[in-house]
Structure formats: C-alpha cells, structure tokens
Structure 1
C-alpha cells in the first residue's frame, strides 16, 4: 500500500494505495470474462423482459389467457414497469454507493427473480401491475450496480469496448424474446393460458443461472479501500493478480501510480448533488443530453414498431417478431462492431459521430417515409442502419456517466441520469409516436422521426462541446475521488 496510515477516532485512516493502477495494468484473462458474464447478462434480462411483454400483450387480452386484462391495462403495466425501474435505480443506486457493489448486485437480481416468477402466476390486472412494478425495481437497481462494478473492475484500456458490449446485450435479449414469442404463443404447441407464463419463467431460469455466477464476482476493491476496508481490498487484488498470472503466464508490470485517500463510511446525498451540479455542471448537462436522446428515440421506436408496421405497411402480427428480431440484432451489432474504436479513436469522436450520424439517418428515414418511397423491408433497412449507430451511442451514454463522476457518486449518478432520461424521453417518446401512428398520417409519423433526430443531434452537439477524453485513462484521473487528497504521487 505504501505510506504511513493515519487513523481518526472512528478507526478510518488516510492511506496511499496503488490498487487502481494495479487493476488497470492487468492483461485480459478469465477473471475479466467472469465479470462480463456475471454482470452483462442483466441487460439481456431487461431486453427479454421488455420485448416479451410487448409480444405476449395481444395474447393476454384474448379470452382464455387466464387473466382478464385490456390493451389499455397492458399499456398501463408498461408505464408502471418504467416507474419501478426509475425508482429502483434511484434507491439502489444510493445503496450501491453506501453498501457496496456486490451486495446490491445480489439483492437487485433477487428482486427481479421473485417479481418475474410472480408475474408468471398473475391472475388479475392489479397483481400483474404489482409484479411489473417490482420487476422494474430490480432491473433499475441492476443498472446502477452493474455499470459501477464493470468500470471499476475492467482495465482502463478495455473499459470502453467492454462497457458498450455489455450494455448492447440488451438487444440480444430483445431478439431472443421476439423469436421465443413466436413459439410460445403458438397455440398448437402451448395452451393459450400457458405459453405467456412460460415466457416469464424463462427469464427466471436465466436470472437464477446469472445469480450463481455472480456469487463469484468480487466486491470492487476501489469501493473497499475508500470505505475503510483496505485490507480486504488488498487481499482481493492479490487474489486476482495471482489468478491472472497463473492464467496468462505473464509477469505483471510494476504499477506506476498511487493515490492518497481519506477513508469514509458514507457520502451524504447533499454532497453528491453538489459534486454533480456545482463541481461538474458541464458533465451533468452532457449526461442529461445523452440520456434524454437515447431514451426518447429507443423507447418510441421499440414500443411502437409493431403498430407502425401494421398500420402503414400491413405487416401481420405474426410476422412482427421477425422484423423486431432483425432490428434488435442490428442494434446489438453496433456496440459489438464499433466498441473497440471507443478505446482507440476515442470517446468524443465516436459518441458525437454516433449521435449525429443516427440523427442524419433518421431525418432521411422521415423524408422517405412521408414521400411514400418505402416498403416494409426498405423501411426496416433504414431502421437497421440508423440504429446500428444509435444503439452504440445509447450504450455510450451509460459508459460516459459511469466514467466521469467521482467513485463515491458513480452508482447514484448512473441512477439519476437514467431515471431522468427515462422518465422524460422514455415516457414522452412512445406516447408521442403512438398518437402520430394512431392518426394514420404519414406526415405526423415523419414529424416524430424529425423530433427524434433533433434530440439525438442535441446529444451529439453536447458531446462535442462537453465530452471528456476518457479512453485509456484511470477512473481516478478522469474524476478525482471525493476522499482523495490532492497530493497524488507516482510510486
């Protein structure tokens, strides 16, 4: 650790540690794959959840489904899910910064598992609402805990591509949910009151498997040493270094930097708010712009794609899942293909390019749409190209907020900007597009595309103005921890 620790009356100390540099210098190994699989699958669960509900919604409203619920009540359940996700993000985001990443990762996933299993047993609308609310709470809490843990455990030179790939995993779940719905809703295979229940239970099985893997993911050493558990942090890092050395056969380089921190048990919400909006106001504006853009666009298109295809291109409900699966896979391909460039070309260039590029493509889509020059398949091609870039930018929004605020505020910052962006853009987008589609006017639908393009363009402009060059840099270099003393030194 280095230096002479100085204790206060509470037993907390001022220490100098090389742990961040030791974690950042590690070569890629099986340990890092454990982090990817243990944490990244939560996004797959969310994609599966949102898509599955959209695909089974028509079955739920049919006689013989086992639950008497209307289309309007299905829409209300979707809104309740979003509210639960926002509240879960805020509550668990705070708890993640207070009580640690690993503990909350296990709690939030357990909440999701229980609520989703209960959803499969729904018998009345009120019970369905309740289950969807707590499913959202669990998923929202996952967002804050997962992105914090990923960025604190993955070496700086890999952080961009890994974070984007994991966040993009949402679309793997979405595509899987769409294709599973084709089989589960086939009454020749499953009874009308059974197939949709199995759809939710699949999420439970996947979530339980993730829970077993996640038990082996260590607590963030960065969180440990700041919260007075530096000996545990040291032991954790030593174990990781030993495993990585054995797996790779490579000797580890000597860490080049250390940081001096004053340990604290907790950080007040007031101090977190001051940090975000007084110390880093430009960064806060950037995150608001990025999250608002991606939440508006993605929720608008995702929730309304089926009705858009049906109303304007006469695509039957049985074929919609295939269109959606192609759209989702394109949204997954973007982060997987372009993610490496975020660590080489750089954050600022790539994020602004993805936001502005998708805005331009969305504008072209609107022009073609109102001009009547699109078929269902050429329309899908335009969406595929647009969301190849838009999805990458959306994933980068989570990467950005998890990198550019101090460690003590990281989880709550993710939760806050997710909640604000989702509550504003995530609610307004589907409602606005739904009204435009319902009107039957191609001009109004095109206007919806133009509005989405404008909001995405604002995100791209904000990145150009306020973006941070975070590629390859230590998290402590991007945003100094609140507990860090100013006399950082090389060691």
Structure 2
C-alpha cells in the first residue's frame, strides 16, 4: 500500500458523531468492544490462583515455581509484542479488522491453553494469549474513542477500562469452586477455567461483528463513501429512537487522504511535535503499573505468608470489586470536573494512601490491609483507566492505536517484568526475616511514582473534556 496522497476531502463526519445524544447504538459499541477487559481480568486472576493446580504431575502439568513464573513472563511479553505489532496494523488496516483479529487470537490461544499436554505447549499458548490481549488494548481504545460522542468519551473510556476488575472479581470467585477438588476433579478444574474464557470470547465476537469501522479512519484513508453511509445509518437509528431530528453540524475539517501513514512519520510526530504529551503518558503509565504491582502483586502472598489466609479468593474479590466501583462511580467526573483535576487527584491521593499503608504494615491484619487496599484502589483504578484515555485522545488520529500500544507496552513491561522481580525479592526477604515491613519498600516506590505521575498531569495535562478528538490533536493529514 502506498502512503502517497490520494485526494483531499472536506467533511463534517467528526462533528456529526460528536453531537449525537446517547442511544442504544452506543451501548452496542460498549458491549461489543468494552467487555473484553472483563476477559482480561478473568484471565489474569484465574492464572494467578492456579500455581498449586499446575504443579502436580498427575492432575496438573508438573510445573515448578520457576515454570509458573516463566509462563507469567511469557504472557507479559506476548502482551507487549501484541500491542506494538497489532497497534501499527490497527492504524494501517483499520479498527474493525484488527479488533476482530485480536479477539480471535485470544480465543484460540486461551482454548489451546485449556488443552495443554505439557509445559512447553502451555508457555506458547500463554504467549499468544497475551499477544491477543495486548492487541486488543490498541484496537479497542482507538475504536471506542472514535465512535463515542465527545461529551461522554471520558466516562465511557474510564468505566470500560475499569471493567477489567469486574472480570477479576468474577475470576476470584470462580477459582473457589474450580480449584476445589471436592467440587471438580483437580485434573479438569484449571482446564475448565481457561475454557470458560474462550466461550465468553466467542459470545463477544458475535456482538462485535455488528460494530462498524471507525468513520474517522475511513475518510482519512480515502473511503469517505463508506464513512458517510455508516454515519447516516447511525443518525437514522438515533433519530428513530429519540423521535427528534438531529441538529445540523456547523464545523468541517479538510484532510489530505492517504491509503496509509508511514511508521517513520508517526514516530517523528509523537516525539518531536508532542514531547510534553509523550512525557505525560510515560509518567502516567509507569506510575499506575508500579502502584498495582506494589500492592496487588504482593497481596496474595502477603495474606498467606504473613496472615495465614488459606483461601484468598474472597479477599481478592472484594479488592477487585472496589476497583471496578471506583472506575464506574468516578468516571462521570472526568467529563464534568475535567481530566486534569481528576487524574491529578486520583494519582496523588492513591499514592499518599499507599505510602501510609506502607508505614502501617506492622499494625495491619488481613482485614484491615484489605480495607486499606479497597480505599486506595477505589481512586487508583479510575486514575489508571484514565491513563489509557489520555494516550488514546491526545495524539493525532493516524497515530492513535500505535501510541496506545507504545505506552501500554512500556507500562506492562515496567509493571509486569521489573515489578514482579523487585516485589518477589522483597516478599522472599520479608518471609525469611519474618518481617512484613520489608515489603513496604515496594509500597513506597509505587507511591512515589504515582504521586509523580499526578504532579506531571497537573503540569502537562490536557483539558480534553467535551472536545472533539480533532481539536485536541489535529490529524497529520489535516489541510492547513
């Protein structure tokens, strides 16, 4: 495909999409695209609870603790690779092709995991499961932001990204019967857990087939007739549902159409035209990644090693439910109070609370630690979800999916690779010394990075609430 200019077009499509009132059609977009985060939360939580089930030679796969850690690293590596690989393809070939492909990759890989006959098969399946999920983050966030009206974009994006924790809560509760040999045979329980993920994914795929391609992507890539047809169909559906005629749009945008945009141009745009926004996203993603690893990665082991809790599923479910509640209940404020105030507030507050928890570790019990975590992550989950919102709306449309992928990969690598290495070492050291306060170091690091991210948002944040994507960052192809 050539990146040579193919024509110029003046269109009012972005303004027509942004002026729409909320309708059933938008719920279809939310359900079809957003529910995959529930799968991700389900996947991560179930896998995190399966260490003991995978170790026996007769009912599991005979895996060692190192093998299980390696499988986790394979999933993280796959997510990073998938985000970057599918991210650039999403910008080049369109949102719909990729959000169907990435969900397909996830579905096949997670079902393959359920049939794993040996550790090697399991490692490969976990890598490709991560690849599908990483690709989903890029394709889905870009599609959602380009289809949801400007007035609702903040709350929808934050709530959808926070739905990861709805899946995590469900996964925590599912592990209780699935991993109980008195309920389900030990050789089948962990396999059924992966199989359920695949079944849910197929259901989502059926709904997702009805979500259209992004009209914004279409008209920039020389397919304005398709874009016009999609928008006209949406308008007719909304008018029929509301019984009111939509107002006429008054603004237009002129762009130079291209079949594709070179990755070199994309990279130069991000790092030379928007260096402050690049620093902002880097700070937000690394901060939230370390915050979650500082607490969540150590949480299960802390409960079992220091507080003697044998079944952590109930505690994890409470923790996850508070994460989802925070993202859901606070999400409207990102549109009303604004991005800068809310991101700064949630990041700084959760960072301060985590530092206080670190200083109080020697006086906490399993219950009070869970309460601390519930309060901290009620605010942190909304802020962390807003990091994805920020990366998806403050860069030009042609770079959107790749920018989401780039910062997601950075955050995932920092939180999923460096984090577990550091915090795993702290847990071992704390257990060896019978001193829970050793893990406070991890809390302090997560707190410092989160507070720093909040301060960077206060200084460099973009007031994007209620604004069209094209006014926040003009397309690279815009006609001056």
TM-score normalised by L of structure 2? 0.97
After TM superposition, the runs of 4+ consecutive aligned structure 1 residues lying more than 4 A away are 8-11
Q: Helix, strand or coil for the counterpart of 1:473?
A: coil
The reply to whether residue 360 of structure 1 matches residue 355 of structure 2 is no
Q: Helix, strand or coil for the counterpart of 1:262?
A: strand
1:458-469 maps to which residues of 2 (within 5 A)?
Answer: 458-469=452-463
Deviation at 1:12, TM superposition (A): 2.2
Q: Helix, strand or coil for the counterpart of 1:13?
A: strand
Q: 1:349 aligns with which of 333, 341, 345?
A: 341
The reply to whether residue 417 of structure 1 matches residue 375 of structure 2 is no
Aligned to 1:270: 264
d(CA) in 1 for partners of 2:339, 2:4:
41
Q: 2:379 aligns with which of 389, 397, 405?
A: 389
In the alignment, is the contact (CA less than 8 A) between 2:54 and 2:62 conserved in 1?
yes
Q: Helix, strand or coil for the counterpart of 1:16?
A: strand
In the alignment, is the contact (CA less than 8 A) between 1:19 and 1:234 conserved in 2?
yes
Aligned to 1:216: 210
Q: 1:330 aligns with which of 322, 325, 345?
A: 322
Q: Render the CA deviation track for 1:32-77: whole Å, top value 9, x for unaligned.
A: 0000000011111111111010112211113422411112101110
What is the total number of aligned residue pairs between the two structures? 475
Aligned to 1:405: 395
In the alignment, is the contact (CA less than 8 A) between 2:338 and 2:465 conserved in 1?
yes
The reply to whether residue 429 of structure 1 matches residue 426 of structure 2 is no
Aligned to 2:84: 90
Q: Render the CA deviation track for 1:305-341: whole Å, top value 9, x for unaligned.
A: 211111121111xx20111010000110111010000
Q: Which runs of 5+ in 1 are unaligned?
A: 1-7, 487-491
Q: 2:227 aligns with which of 215, 224, 233?
A: 233
d(CA) in 2 for partners of 1:9, 1:244:
36
TM-score normalised by L of structure 1? 0.95
Aligned to 1:248: 242
d(CA) in 2 for partners of 1:50, 1:71:
17
d(CA) in 2 for partners of 1:473, 1:426:
33
In the alignment, is the contact (CA less than 8 A) between 2:83 and 2:137 conserved in 1?
yes
Q: Which moved more, 1:279-288 or 1:54-63?
A: 54-63
1:108-147 maps to which residues of 2 (within 5 A)?
Answer: 108-147=102-141
Q: Helix, strand or coil for the counterpart of 1:263?
A: strand
In the alignment, is the contact (CA less than 8 A) between 1:297 and 1:429 conserved in 2?
no
d(CA) in 2 for partners of 1:373, 1:163:
38
Deviation at 1:214, TM superposition (A): 0.3
In the alignment, is the contact (CA less than 8 A) between 2:392 and 2:403 conserved in 1?
yes
In the alignment, is the contact (CA less than 8 A) between 2:145 and 2:392 conserved in 1?
yes
d(CA) in 2 for partners of 1:402, 1:338:
19
Q: Which runs of 5+ in 2 are unaligned?
A: none
Deviation at 1:430, TM superposition (A): 1.9
Q: Helix, strand or coil for the counterpart of 1:260?
A: strand
Q: 1:373 aligns with which of 359, 363, 388?
A: 363
In the alignment, is the contact (CA less than 8 A) between 1:59 and 1:192 conserved in 2?
yes
d(CA) in 2 for partners of 1:303, 1:367:
18
C-alpha RMSD over aligned residues:
1.3
